[in-house]
Chain A
Amino acid sequence: MTANELDDFITASARALALPVDPAWYPAIRANLETTLRLAAVVAEFALPDDAEPAPVFRA
């Protein structure tokens, strides 16, 4: 996503979540979101079977 597209996403998400976002906060939020989405792609590219169980309550 481009910086403008990310900013549009931030604006829309902030509205959907009723989060106040000052325009001055956009660069830092964008940078954090960019990192997280990049890392999400790293996880998503690794194919797991359909029956893979998530671990929301994890037991070691």
Chain B
Amino acid sequence: MIDLAEASACDIAGAVERGEASVAAVVEAALGRIERCDPALNAFTDVAAERARRRAAALDGRRAKGEKLGPLAGVPFAVKNLFDVAGLATRAGSKINRELPAAARDAPLIERLEAAGAVLIGALNMGEYAYDFTGENVHDGPSRNPHDTGRMTGGSSGGSGAAVAGRLVPLALGSDTNGSIRVPASLCGLFGLKPTYGRLTRARSFPFVTSLDHVGPLGRSAADLAAAYDAMQGPDPEDPVCALRPVEPTMPLLGKKLEGLRIATAGGYFSKGQSLPGRAAIAAVAAALNATAEIEWPHAARARAAAFIITAAEGACLHVDRLRRRPNDYDPAVRDRLIAGAMVPAIAVEQAQKFRRWYRGEVAALFRDVDAVIAPATPCTAPRIGEESFVLDGATMPLRANLGIYTQPISFIGLPVVVVPVPLSPLPIGVQIIAAPWREDVALRIAHALEAMGVVAAPKPPG
């Protein structure tokens, strides 16, 4: 009998298709785990139990008639609460948005996952309006790291990290503007995919910085990311940024050998400021991949600076009217960042956007010589909840702004990244596998190979 808590999404789909488990049993098991474990993790803000049960019954009925349910048959999943879920107000981690009318329709990514057989179980905690790297939330309380509930999940997709690492669901969706999938994947010990900018539709999700917003899955294996990613690809006229590219399945390429791939480690900016676990994780991954070359990533610090400016200004633009009307209903830390962002000179934003295109060209040149680059995901393992600073290279640094120092220069130009978890003790930490635009397949293949070698894995939390 399959262990439904520990099973991957692909394992569950296989068991359902073979008739070894009903969707109803899978869904009830997930709901039971949420009931038992979520009070300690605070991952879920909404549990859609009745919806999930109805859908499970419908899927079991279809299977009984001999229908194929799809590659994610019966897989329970949950979404960061900035995705529209029919019947729920899309709160986006805020107090203000929960007064909005309930969404009339699910976000297209939910529709696409459900079309592949998956079952939505609920919506997940997140940092307010996604302006967060910690997973803390003043309105809903912090999501808690399953490996140590006194520690941060990382954010802003903190509930997504807690739900998957805590074995409540095998798969969750998050969003990533500057690192909000990759930081929780690193701190919670998960695989996370931030696809190429424009690859997955963001329609019917609450935005943050449209120039930089991405969406993607978190899971406990590279194959689960690939299965979810393949189900969610494809154009969508509802998101003007969503690419017109056809679906390019990654699953069939996952087991392809790595021979011939040129993999290097990012030096310079990316080799500074790392903790001992971060260094150990990079060394383990580089050794397993025989990645002996080190490349100098061009202008990473300036790219991070430009991403910071665009984030501040676009985030403020999105919120300025709410800031005028209801400043006291924001998390004060988010409000003060947004107000400061409203005051950034337009020239600074335009210079950042000009730099962005120039930098894209520089990095594209780098990918003529390599197929993938290894870089740290976070400068440290999960900090304690409420911690405000940390020591890096002997210097005390503000924690909130700096958890994303290694992720921001990459998402700034929309490169696809898979974060792989290195199961160090007592806490895991992630490593970024960065590929050229539209080459998610390369990053997923490398992640899958590392998993097969036993170098990376989503560790089981204690208890």
Contacts and interface: CB of A to CB of B under 8 A. Distances in A.
Given A39-B309, A53-B357, A58 B414 contact: yes
A22 B328 CA distance: 10
Interface residues on B, range: 35 or more
Given A39-B305, A54-B357, A57-B241, 12 more contacts: A18-B324, A21-B339, A30-B340, A32-B341, A39-B308, A40-B348, A48-B351, A54-B350, A54-B354, A55-B360, A57-B211, A60-B198
Interface string A31-60: 011011101101110101000111111111
Interface of B: 196-198, 211, 240-241, 243, 299, 301-302, 304-306, 308-309, 312, 320, 323-324, 327, 332-333, 335-337, 339-345, 347-348, 350-358, 360, 401, 413-415, 437-438
A3 B352 CA distance: 25
Contacts of A9: 343
A33 B417 CA distance: 30
Given A52-B357, A56-B211, A36 B340 contact: yes
Given A40-B309, A40-B348, A55-B360, A28 B332 contact: yes
Given A25-B335, A36-B309, A42-B302, A55 B356 contact: yes
26 contacts: A13-B343, A17-B320, A19-B324, A19-B339, A25-B336, A30-B340, A32-B339, A33-B340, A35-B308, A36-B340, A36-B341, A39-B304, A39-B305, A40-B309, A43-B305, A43-B306, A43-B351, A44-B351, A46-B302, A46-B355, A48-B355, A55-B353, A56-B211, A59-B243, A60-B196, A60-B437
Contacts of A32: 312, 336-337, 339-341
